[in-house]
Structure 1
């Protein structure tokens, strides 16, 4: 019952039931994880920290609780402490199944979540470190590469961002989101013909792609304007 209320975000009802379970000396880490999440949502950070720590005392490899605790610590500016909590949980989980694809994907998800957290706080180098770690463990290469591209763009490392996308598209030529982004990088660097090539390639595979159509209209308008400027600057022929 508590979990159903929790999933539906009926936190007041869930909190009451969860506290009753604790009074009955229930030692399920999920109880404390849900309570920690509820307290975090209410801004009761100290109670949330205690709840997540209690969940980890019961199950040190409970990565959902470790990520929750990491998020709070990062919110409070305790970045190194938050990273330490996550790394300890990762080590525990990794020891359960070295080379197990399920475990590796679960680890990748946690690196991904931590990377998102660093990105949110504009700590792009740390975010990239986490996304690269996730990339070595996960089969979600296109999705994670796009996150690395966004980090590179935020750091104004456009050449590196372009290289990441070109490498990705060599392996996944039909990944349209990557082509759209590569086209935009070309466009922003005033390489309009290269941008048009990418967006036209998207339309070949998906003729109804609205984003590609909008980008192409913009690019063609720029081309027409540039051509008109060249003509207006050309010397007129005297008879």
Structure 2
């Protein structure tokens, strides 16, 4: 074979090899996306083991998908596997450093690990991202982190920021009501939690927090009625047991 013929043959092999590899990668990405979509459907149904199975299958096909890594983190978090959740969210951010939902989710995982200062660092970062479509999530999460650090003025500040953006955001309403209660500001606690109950009338946790605010303000009859509502809307739960215990204390000591 003449030299130019050999070179030509090598070039042809390289071209077809490259095309073949590209086609294979595109096929793997398509299959990975199909598994990811199925996993997301399972996740939305609360079927976390099946979701995890699909996400792991997707990861073997194409691990460089930041949205998949975020999905994995959310699933691990829902299953109580916080260390694995942190690892997956960090993988998502290695692939796409400006992926704001993954930054917020990583902060949430650290909240669940009760690593408040680390969580605050991530929430502050995402709250400054002008492209983040739901900054009230980050502000509310900052409120919860500072609440747990017993820095209640800062907790109030960030809950109010969240409510400036979305006045009906339930996490911020509950957090702000709890903050006012622990600060002894019962009129504000009652007003905040009454609004929350009006917006979300079937959540037992809201009635429990509102009953505590009524108790703080000395409105014992309202408190007892509201504890009963907590039990009604969250039967056979920790919320119901807390409501029954606290209602009994009012009856015993009044």
Alignment of 1:24-173 (within 5 A): 24-92=61-129, 94=130, 96=131, 103=133, 106-116=134-144, 119=147, 121=148, 123=150, 125=152, 126-140=154-168, 144=172, 147-155=175-183, 157=184, 160-163=185-188
For structure 2, list consecutive stretches of 5 or more residues without a partner in the other structure.
1-37, 202-208, 223-227, 230-254
Contact 1:61 1:90 (C-alpha < 8 Å) held by counterparts: no
Contact 1:29 1:55 (C-alpha < 8 Å) held by counterparts: yes
Question: What is the alpha-carbon root mean square deviation over aligned residues?
Answer: 4.7
> Post-superposition, which runs of at least 4 consecutive aligned residues in structure 1 deviate over 4 A?
116-119, 141-146, 163-169, 181-192
Contact 1:67 1:110 (C-alpha < 8 Å) held by counterparts: yes
For structure 1, list consecutive stretches of 5 or more residues without a partner in the other structure.
98-102, 197-209, 212-239
Contact 2:126 2:135 (C-alpha < 8 Å) held by counterparts: no
Report the Cα offset of residue 83 of structure 1.
Answer: 0.9
Residues 1:58 and 1:91: Cα distance change in structure 2 (over 3 Å): farther
Partner of 1:203: none
Query: How many aligned residue pairs are there?
Result: 192
* Cα shift readout 1:4-54 (whole Å, capped 9, x = no counterpart): 122223333322322232222253322111211232344443322110012
Partner of 2:204: none
Residues 1:11 and 1:189: Cα distance change in structure 2 (over 3 Å): closer
TM-score by length of 1: 0.57
The 1-side partners of 2:80 and 2:170 are apart by: 35
Residues 1:36 and 1:183: Cα distance change in structure 2 (over 3 Å): closer
